[in-house]
A and B are shown apart, each in its own frame.
Chain A
Amino acid sequence: MSIKKFAVAVYDDEAVLFPAVKKVRGAGYKIHDVYTPFAVHGLDVALGEKESDLHIAGFIYGITGTCTALGFMGWIFTTDWPQNFGGKPHFPLPAFIPITFELTVLFAAVGMVLTFCYLNQIMPGVKKHIFHPRQTDDKFVLVIEVNENTAKETETFLKTTGAEETNIQVAEADWWFGRFDKREDYEIQEQLA
Chain B
Amino acid sequence: MLNQEFKVPAKLKTTSLTLLAIGIVTLLAGVFTLLMSHDQMSQNRFWAVLLQNSVFFLLISLASVFILSATSLAQGAWIVSFRRIPEAIGSIVWVMAMIAGLVLLTIVWTNNHHIYKWLEDGYIVHNKLNALKNFFLNRNFFTIWTLIVLGLWSWFGIKLRQLSIKQDSDPKGSTKTYWLNFNYSAGFIFVFALSLASTIPWLWIMSLDAHWFSTMFSWYTFASSFVSGMSMIMLWILYTKRHGYLGHVNDEHIHDVGKFMFAFSIFWTYLWFSQFMLIWYANIPEETIYFKIRMHGPYKFFYWINIILNFVCPILILMPRPNKRNYFVVTLVAIIILTGHWIDFYQMVMPATVGENWHIGWFEIGIVCGFIGLIISLVSNKLTKAPLVPQNNPLLKETIIHIS
Contacts and interface: CB of A to CB of B under 8 A. Distances in A.
Contacts of A87: 283
A51 B321 contact: yes
A50 interface: no
Interface of A is mostly: helix
A94 B282 CA distance: 12
A118 B186 CA distance: 44
Interface of A: 41-42, 44-45, 51, 55, 59, 86-88, 94-95, 97-98
Interface of B: 273, 276-277, 280-281, 283, 319-321, 403-404
Given A41-B403, A59-B319, A98-B277, 14 more contacts: A41-B404, A42-B403, A51-B321, A86-B281, A86-B283, A88-B281, A94-B273, A94-B276, A94-B277, A94-B280, A94-B281, A95-B277, A95-B281, A97-B277
Nearest to B322: A51
Residue in A41, A87, A94, A97 whose Cβ sees the most chain B Cβ within 10 Å: A94
Contacts of B404: 41-42, 44-45
A145 B262 CA distance: 42
Nearest to A98: B277
Nearest to B278: A94
A42 B401 CA distance: 11
17 contacts: A42-B403, A42-B404, A45-B403, A45-B404, A51-B321, A55-B320, A59-B319, A86-B281, A87-B283, A88-B281, A94-B273, A94-B277, A94-B281, A95-B281, A97-B273, A97-B277, A98-B277
A-B pairs, top 10 by smallest CB distance, nearest first, are: A42-B403, A94-B277, A94-B280, A41-B403, A95-B281, A41-B404, A97-B273, A42-B404, A97-B277, A55-B321
Contacts of A42: 403-404
Interface of B is mostly: helix
Contacts of B273: 94, 97
A97 B276 CA distance: 12
Nearest to B319: A59
Nearest to A56: B320
A45 B404 CA distance: 9
A51 B320 CA distance: 12
A88 B281 CA distance: 8
A152 B349 CA distance: 77
A40 to B, nearest CB: 11
A86 B283 CA distance: 9
Contacts of A94: 273, 276-277, 280-281
Nearest to B270: A101
B37 to A, nearest CB: 41
Nearest to A46: B403
Nearest to B276: A94
Nearest to B280: A94
Contacts of B320: 55
Nearest to B402: A41
A87 B280 CA distance: 12
Contacts of B283: 86-87
Contacts of B319: 59
Nearest to B283: A86
B269 to A, nearest CB: 10
B311 to A, nearest CB: 12
A44 B404 CA distance: 10
A55 B324 CA distance: 14
Contacts of B281: 86, 88, 94-95
A42 B402 CA distance: 10
Contacts of B403: 41-42, 45
A124 B165 CA distance: 54
A56 to B, nearest CB: 9
Nearest to B281: A95
Contacts of A44: 404
Contacts of B276: 94
